[in-house]
């Protein structure tokens, strides 16, 4: 069948026999699936848009949106462009200049189809004087699984062409534009000149060419894999002198290969045959830099490249930091601390452990390397001081509930004072639980806490209260998306006092000391290496709070506005992490950590008795407060990798300075001597939110 002067846009063609395209026929968006037949484009005439042609001035060219299946494509002098439909296709047929014509063997018989076929195809034989010229465009992947020995010129302008046959790239010149990629799925040979401005993905396959040339931005990607006891590498072989200095060669490493497998291995990046000489530039082997050869020498700091051979030795430098890695601050900090270390120091365990050694085989700047760097950095430990301080602050708030005014529980005003029949001594207890989350700078922490406190206080002159308290707390800090957690157990002691004057002015205050015991458990991993690390340390928090205010009564509602200050200074001691299995040096030397919070507080408490039954009373209350943080709002921690030349600092989320808190509860006096409060609270600031609840009780002796 012949198609003449037809626009085959958005058409789908499937042929098993002979199909000819002639005249002004176009097929830019056509989808052609061949089923062992023949597609003849040799009689396509000059196209209206000469940009479809491979070279300027071409008069015979056709663009086909999609081509797949098997069969023969007869081109004659017509240049063929494929891929404008942006599809992934697989073509197992051949591109040919001509095909021998066989006339019908049945004497005296001639069909319309035979006559039409011969009429169209006979001129193609006479016109054809050049080889097939083929261009790949678009964004899709075209896989060629057939023998393309008839192709003289192959151009990859866009998308990917996968070569799955020894002659898939033809027997002539190959050019790859900056937007194009050639990927090998088999060893390929037969190419004369290979010009690269894009990407050549070798895998573990070999490409044999006569000569190679490139321009800035060109890339060759290779891969190393184990084959028994040996290592297999992707390589390009040249038979004439070639210049690779503007080509960046990257060699990825398969899982299961360790640094020790690579020591003193010769990697044939470029195989120069015979008298051919080659000049190659940067070769990246994972994160192992093999140097840049200039003017026949090396940069003096890493291994040089000679005739395409790269020797990986114990002195080879590992450049963990990629120039375009897009690292977070914490990722960059940990990688910079070991950037440039010798490969032998990693293999021997002199620097780091198995995880850092495995990271040397990750491509610098890759997503997997960045993930491993975050795990190794100890970023999940940076919130420990904040979690510990949270336990101390919660203990402070427990003492604050016992104030004569401005607190959370019932208090006795100077009007009624302590009952004459009692001795002014009361015991109290409070239990609270809550969850806080900090988010920012690509990090997220969740802290769950449970704590309790008991205390005893005594009235002095009816309007003054002094007391002491002891408390226990537990905080569990986890970094979202990172394996492991930190547990902080705390023991606190404190003293507090309160005074309510006859003029309804009040002053409250207290001091506290908290001792912390911290246990950490986390996992670090890279490639097929992993280690579970644990650590123990201790620390303390010194704190104080104070406030002054005045009580007002408006329509039966007690209003207690106040201003105050809250200070907490936390320090956790340095410690060394250890591998849980007792072997390895993957753990960090974790530095001491300090965190100081100084807050100014403005608040108001509103409460009112709404019921009085049988000598008891019920009063809901609401306390609103605004706090401004004058201290550091971003936690930090300085660590060091075992044997590393320098330490590094990781930082937690940067939080806001303005904190808003609301406490809502109900106070119930069950008897004249027993009071109970149930309530909850919420606190928010930029990057942090907290929600909690608890119960407290007081018994007057």
Position 125 pLDDT exceeds 50: no
**pLDDT tens per residue across span 8-20:** 877 777 777 788 8
Task: Indicate if the pLDDT at residue 644 is higher than 90.
Answer: yes
Q: State the Cα–Cα distance between residues 520 and 579, nearest whole angstrom.
A: 12
In percent, the amount of the chain with pLDDT more than 70 equals 86
Farthest CA pair distance, the chain: 137
- Greater confidence (405 vs 10) lies with 10
Domain membership of residue 259 (yes or no) is: no
- Evaluate if residue 387 carries a pLDDT over 90: yes
pLDDT mean across residues, the chain: 86
pLDDT confidence band for 407 (50 / 70 / 90): low
- DSSP for 31-68 reads EEEEEEEEEEEEEE---S-GGGSSSTT---EEEEEEEE
Task: List pLDDT tens digits, range 479-520.
Answer: 998 998 999 999 999 999 998 888 889 999 999 999 999 999
Beta strand segments in 386-504, E: 425-440, 443-460, 464-479, 484-500
Would you say 619 and 410 are in contact if contact means Cβ atoms under 8 Å apart?
A: yes
Give the residue-averaged pLDDT of 329-349.
94
Q: Average of pLDDT values for 242-254?
A: 89
**Which of 132-141, 269-278, 579-588 holds the top average pLDDT?**
132-141
Give the end of a domain, one of 143, 168, 186: 186
* Range with the poorest average pLDDT among 240-249, 408-417, 463-472: 408-417
Could you tell me how far CA 104 lies from the centroid of its own chain?
66
pLDDT-derived band at 251 (thresholds 50, 70, 90) equals confident
For tokens 């609301």, name the residue. 662
Lowest model confidence (mean pLDDT) among 218-222, 267-271, 407-411, 430-434: 407-411
Instruction: Taking residues 163-172, report their average pLDDT.
Output: 97
What pLDDT score does 130 carry? 65
Q: What is the spatial distance between Cα 444 and Cα 633, in angstroms, rounded to a whole number?
A: 15
Q: 689 Cβ partners below 8 Å, 6+ apart?
A: 436, 437, 682, 683
Asked whether the beta carbons of 234 and 222 are under 8 A apart, the reply is: yes
pLDDT tens profile 429-447? 999 999 999 998 888 999 9
pLDDT in tens, 578-599: 998 878 899 999 999 999 999 9
Question: Which pLDDT band, with edges at 50, 70 and 90, does 316 fall under?
Answer: confident
Whether the per-residue pLDDT at 113 is higher than 70: the answer is no
Phi, psi angles (nearest 5°) of residue 209: -135, 165
**How many angstroms separate the CA atoms of 75 and 21, rounded?**
10
389 by DSSP, 3-state: which? helix
Give a yes or no: residue 48 inside a domain.
Answer: yes
Report in angstroms the alpha-carbon separations of 234 from 178, 183, 186, 481, 608.
Answer: 21, 11, 10, 36, 81
Phi first, then psi, for residue 442 (nearest 5°) are: 80, 10
Q: Answer for the pair 593, 571: CB distance below 8 angstroms, yes or no.
A: yes
Q: Is residue 476 within 8 Å of 489, Cβ to Cβ?
A: no
Choose the final residue of a domain: 186, 205, 225: 186
Query: Mean pLDDT, to the nearest integer, of 96-121?
Result: 48
Q: In the chain, how many H helices and how many E strands?
A: 7, 49
> Model confidence at 231, in pLDDT bands (50, 70, 90)?
confident
The reported pLDDT for the residue numbered 124 is 42
Provide the pLDDT for residue 116: 45
Reading the block at residue 173, the tokens are 């010149």
Count of domains for the chain? 2
- How far is it, in rounded angstroms, from Cα 31 to Cα 452? 73
Local confidence band at 614 (pLDDT 50, 70, 90 cut-offs) = low
Q: Is residue 269 part of a domain?
A: no
Residue 117 included in any domain: yes
Inter-residue contact 62 to 26 (CB < 8 Å): yes
Of the candidates 446, 444, 588, the one whose C-alpha atom is nearest the C-alpha of residue 520 is 588
Q: Is residue 331 scored above 50 in pLDDT?
A: yes
Main-chain dihedrals φ then ψ at residue 140, nearest 5 degrees: -80, 180
- The mean per-residue pLDDT over the stretch 457-482 comes to 91
Length reported for the chain: 701
Would the pTM of this model clear 0.85, i.e. be above it? no
Measured CA to CA in angstroms, residue 89 lies from 62, 144, 181, 262 at distances of: 18, 9, 15, 38
Helix/strand/coil for 429: strand
**What are 56's two structure tokens?**
């300027």
Query: What H or E segment, with its residue span, contains residue 182?
Result: strand 180-184
Q: 171 is in which domain, residue-wise?
A: 1-186
For the cut 50, the answer to whether the pLDDT of residue 88 exceeds it is: yes
Q: What is the mean pLDDT of residues 252-258?
A: 85
Say if residues 371 and 525 touch (Cβ distance below 8 Å).
Answer: no
Q: How many angstroms separate the CA atoms of 313 and 40, rounded? A: 56
Residue 255 forms part of a structural domain: no
The model's confidence at residue 258, banded by pLDDT at 50, 70 and 90, is confident
Span 456-466, average pLDDT: 86
CA torsion 527-533-539-541 (nearest 10°) is: 50
Beta partners for residue 561, in sequence order: 604
Q: What are phi and psi of 104, to 5 degrees?
A: -55, 140
Confidence of residue 103 (pLDDT cuts 50, 70, 90): very low
Residue 542 pLDDT grade (very low, low, confident, very high; cuts 50, 70, 90): very high
In percent, the amount of the chain with pLDDT more than 90 equals 58
Which of helix, strand or coil describes residue 441? coil
Q: 122: which 2 tokens?
A: 């006979």
Please list the residues that pair with 542 across neighbouring strands: 513, 569
The pLDDT assigned to 117 comes to 44
- Quick check: 270 and 256 in contact, CB under 8 A? no
**Residue 233 in domain:** no
Q: Residue 562's beta-bridge partner residues? A: 549, 603
Residue 299 has pLDDT above 90, yes or no: no
According to the model, what pLDDT value does residue 551 have? 86
How far the first Cα of the chain sits from its last, in Å, is: 109
Tell me: pLDDT of 304 over 70.
no
In the predicted model, is pLDDT for residue 302 greater than 60?
Answer: no
Q: Does 473 reside within a domain?
A: yes
The answer to whether the beta carbons of residues 186 and 164 sit under 8 Å apart is yes
pLDDT tier, 280 (very low <50, low <70, confident <90, very high otherwise): confident
Residue 107 pLDDT level (bands cut at 50, 70, 90): very low
Strands (E), 501-556: 505-526, 529-550, 552-554
Q: Residues 6 or more apart from 176 whose CB is under 8 A from it?
A: 156, 182, 194, 195, 196, 197, 198, 199, 200, 218
Q: Any residues with CB less than 8 A from the CB of 337 and at least 6 apart, and which? A: 640, 641, 644, 645, 646, 647, 648
CATH of the domain at 516: 2.40.128.130
H-helix segments, 263-351: 329-336, 343-348
Residue 162 lies in a domain: yes
């Amino acid at each position: 069948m012949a198609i003449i002067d037809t626009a085959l846009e958005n058409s789908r063609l499937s042929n098993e026999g002979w199909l000819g395209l002639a005249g002004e026929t176009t097929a830019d968006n056509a989808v052609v699936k061949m089923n062992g037949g023949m597609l003849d484009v040799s009689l396509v005439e000059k196209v209206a848009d000469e940009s479809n042609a491979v070279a300027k001035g071409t008069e015979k060219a056709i663009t086909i949106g999609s081509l797949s299946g098997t069969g023969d494509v007869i081109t004659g002098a017509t240049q063929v462009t494929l891929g404008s439909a942006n599809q992934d296709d697989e073509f197992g047929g051949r591109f040919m200049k001509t095909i021998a014509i066989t006339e019908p063997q049945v004497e005296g018989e001639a069909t319309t189809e035979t006559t039409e076929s011969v009429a169209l195809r006979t001129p193609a034989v006479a016109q054809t004087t050049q080889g097939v010229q083929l261009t790949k465009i678009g964004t899709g992947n075209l896989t060629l699984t057939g023998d393309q020995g008839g192709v003289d010129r192959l151009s990859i302008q866009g998308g990917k062409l996968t070569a799955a046959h020894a002659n898939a790239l033809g027997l002539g010149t190959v050019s790859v534009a900056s937007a194009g990629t050639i990927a090998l799925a088999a060893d390929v040979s037969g190419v004369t000149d290979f010009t690269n401005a894009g990407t050549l993905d070798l895998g573990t396959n070999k490409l044999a060419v006569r000569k190679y040339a490139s321009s800035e931005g060109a890339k060759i990607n290779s891969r190393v894999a184990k084959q028994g006891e040996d290592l297999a590498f992707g390589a390009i072989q040249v038979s004439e002198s070639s210049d690779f200095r503007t080509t960046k060669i990257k060699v990825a490493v398969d899982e299961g290969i360790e640094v020790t497998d690579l020591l003193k291995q010769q990697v044939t990046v470029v195989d120069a045959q015979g008298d051919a000489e080659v000049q190659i530039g940067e070769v990246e082997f994972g994160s192992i830099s093999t140097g840049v050869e200039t003017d026949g020498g090396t940069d003096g700091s890493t291994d040089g490249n000679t005739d395409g051979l790269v020797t990986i030795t114990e002195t080879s430098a590992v450049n963990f930091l990629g120039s375009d890695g897009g690292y977070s601050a914490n990722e960059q900090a940990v990688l910079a601390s070991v950037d440039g270390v010798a490969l032998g120091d990693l293999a021997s365990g002199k620097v780091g452990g198995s995880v850092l050694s495995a990271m040397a085989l990750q491509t610098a700047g890759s997503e997997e390397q960045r993930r491993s760097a975050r795990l190794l950095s100890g970023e999940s430990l940076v919130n420990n001081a904040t979690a510990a301080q949270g336990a101390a602050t919660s203990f402070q708030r427990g003492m604050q509930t016992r104030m004569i005014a401005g607190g959370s529980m019932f208090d006795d005003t100077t009007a009624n004072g302590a009952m004459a029949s009692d001795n002014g001594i009361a015991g109290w207890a409070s239990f609270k639980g809550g969850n806080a989350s900090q988010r920012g700078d690509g990090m997220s922490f969740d802290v769950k806490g449970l704590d309790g406190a008991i205390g005893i206080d005594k009235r002095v002159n009816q309007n003054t209260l002094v007391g002491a308290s002891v408390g226990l707390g537990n905080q569990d800090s986890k970094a979202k998306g990172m394996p492991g957690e930190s547990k902080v157990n705390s023991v606190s002691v404190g003293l507090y006092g309160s005074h309510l004057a006859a003029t309804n002015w009040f002053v409250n205050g207290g001091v506290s000391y908290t001792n912390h015991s911290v246990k950490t458990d986390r996992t670090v991993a890279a490639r097929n290496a992993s280690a579970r690390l644990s650590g123990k340390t201790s620390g303390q928090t010194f704190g104080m709070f104070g406030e002054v205010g005045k009580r007002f009564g408006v329509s039966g509602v007690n209003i207690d506005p106040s201003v105050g200050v809250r200070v907490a200074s936390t320090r956790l001691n340095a410690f060394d992490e250890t591998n849980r299995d007792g072997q390895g040096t993957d753990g960090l030397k974790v530095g001491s950590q300090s965190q100081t919070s100084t807050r100014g507080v403005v608040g108001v408490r509103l409460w009112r008795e709404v019921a009085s039954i049988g000598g008891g009373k019920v009063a809901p209350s609401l306390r609103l407060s605004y706090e401004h943080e004058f201290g550091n709002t971003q936690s930090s921690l300085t660590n060091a990798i075992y044997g590393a030349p320098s330490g590094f600092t990781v930082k937690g989320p940067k939080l806001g300075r303005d904190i808003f808190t609301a406490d809502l509860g109900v106070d119930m006096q069950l008897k004249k001597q027993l009071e109970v409060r149930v309530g909850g609270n919420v606190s928010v600031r930029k990057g942090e939110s907290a929600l909690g609840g608890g119960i407290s009780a007081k018994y007057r002796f």
